[in-house]
Amino acid sequence: MKRSTIPILTMLAVAAVLCGPASAQVFYSFPGARTVPDTSPALGLTTGFGDQFFRLLGFARFNAAQRADLGFELVYDDLDTGPGSEDSGRFGGGLDFKYAVVPGRPDSPVDVAVQVGAGVLTRSEVTLVKVPFGALVSHTFPLSGNREVVPYGGVYLVIDYVNYDSPRLDDGTDLDVEMRLGGSVEIGDHASVFAAFHTGNGTMFFLGFSASL
């Protein structure tokens, strides 16, 4: 009974976040659909490159239930807003919930997960709220030396809401389909590097590092 109620309570908590003022979002994809175990939360850093800006992001993932985990993010974007601009940075944070629909097994190491998040990026008089939800698939390939390679791919619906403090500009909402493709390579005990490509809701390329505690 305890195991079955934890995922329900966690999903209710995430739903409460999404229905209230947005304070988090998935601004990148953690490599792979597999959830982190209770004994090994993950910490990491990633850099993203987009159209006229780049992103620095720190993240942490923690086990929430037998098949679920939660991710937290802190984000800084450096924007190319034109010559002489002093307002080139925006800050934000994120929270996402991932549930393993099909956890990988030794005889078939394919993982399928669903994911939902919410978040905010803000600077000066502009606030951007993002709410992505979708599905992620990955496959674990074992290497010699007890290492792993994990390619992954996902499709997400991304809701964007832009709020302007200026009365001269109108607020707006967009819905886009985004594809995320990437892969990670284990380079040491509990340490991996990864790369990813996002397209649809803008285009970005990511390089990152992740380590399990």
Total residue length of the chain: 213
pLDDT tens per residue, the chain (213 residues)?
Answer: 444 334 333 333 333 333 332 222 368 888 999 999 999 999 999 999 988 889 999 999 999 999 999 999 999 999 876 665 566 789 999 999 999 999 887 777 899 999 999 999 998 888 999 999 999 999 999 888 889 999 999 999 999 999 988 777 778 999 999 999 999 999 998 899 999 999 998 899 999 999 998
CA 68 vs CA 50, 71, 95, 140, 183: distances in Å: 30, 10, 13, 18, 21
* Exposed / middle / buried, residue 136 (Cβ in 10 Å: 0-12, 13-18, 19+): buried
Ranges of each domain in the chain: 2-212
CB-based contacts of 93, cutoff 8 Å, min separation 6? 23, 24, 25, 72, 73, 74, 75, 119, 120
Q: pTM of the full predicted structure?
A: 0.80
Q: What angle do CA 91, 154, 75 make, to 5 degrees?
A: 10
E strands present in the chain: 42-50, 53-65, 68-79, 89-102, 110-123, 126-139, 141-143, 147-164, 172-188, 191-200, 202-212
> Which of the listed CATH numbers 2.60.120, 2.70.50, 2.40.128, 1.10.15 matches domain 2-212?
2.40.128
